[in-house]
Amino acid sequence: MNFRAIYEKYLNTLENISNDHEETTDTDVRERLHEVINWYFIWGKSVDSEFPLLYSMFSPEGDALIAQATKNFIEQASEISSKIPVGAKRNAMIEDSSVLTKSGESYDLYLGSAETVLPAEKPANDDLYGDYD
């Protein structure tokens, strides 16, 4: 499997999650996903015990679905892209607008976008993302 196939699968998973959890495309969720992917994939940091579990979803179930999908994507994408330099080249892989979901949506609906590569900053503590109503 190549990066594009892994990425398409991830975006389709996010699309499927959004069918039952409409908040998947909310700004807070998108920014959290971007923050996590930036640290772990774009900057090549190893998935560890501090991998974020909360993504500003409205329920623990929604957060669990997003966390598992994102962790799976990062692990698979990192393995297949191990020879791709971190930073700009990996960011370009994420911000590839030719990769679409089955319904034709691009990455930015789920992950947002940045004009430049974000600095290598560890994602914020989960405590900021776990206020269920």
Q: What is the pLDDT of residues 51-97, one digit of tens each?
A: 999 999 999 999 999 999 999 999 999 999 999 999 999 999 999 99
- The C-alpha atoms of residue 94 and residue 21 are separated, in whole angstroms, by 23
Q: What is the DSSP string of 2-39?
A: -HHHHHHHHHHHHHHHHHH-GGGGSHHHHHHHHHHHII
User: Quick one: pLDDT at residue 133?
Assistant: 62
pLDDT recorded at residue 128: 78
Token readout for 15 is 């699309």
When comparing pLDDT for 113 and 98, which is higher?
A: 98
pLDDT tens-digit series, residues 22-45? 999 999 999 999 999 999 999 999
Task: Tell me whether residue 132 is in a domain.
Answer: no
The pLDDT-based confidence of 115 (bands split at 50, 70, 90) is confident
In a domain, 9, yes or no: yes
Q: Is there a domain that residue 129 lies in?
A: no
Q: Indicate whether 133 belongs to any domain.
A: no
Q: Compute the half-sphere exposure of residue 89: CA atoms within 13 Å on the CB side of its CA.
A: 9
Q: Per residue in 10-22, pLDDT tens?
A: 999 999 999 999 9
pLDDT at 114: 85
113 found inside a domain = yes
The separation between CA 4 and the C-alpha centre of its own chain, rounded to angstroms, equals 14
Domain that holds residue 83: 3-121
- Asked whether residue 84 is assigned to any structural domain, the reply reads yes
**Number of Cβ atoms within 10 Å of the Cβ of 36:** 24
Number of folded domains that form the chain: 1
Residue with tokens 């996010």: 14
- Domain for residue 131, yes or no? no
Distance spanning both ends of the chain, measured CA to CA: 40
| Per-residue tokens: 5 | 């196939």
- For residue 128, being part of any structural domain is answered with no
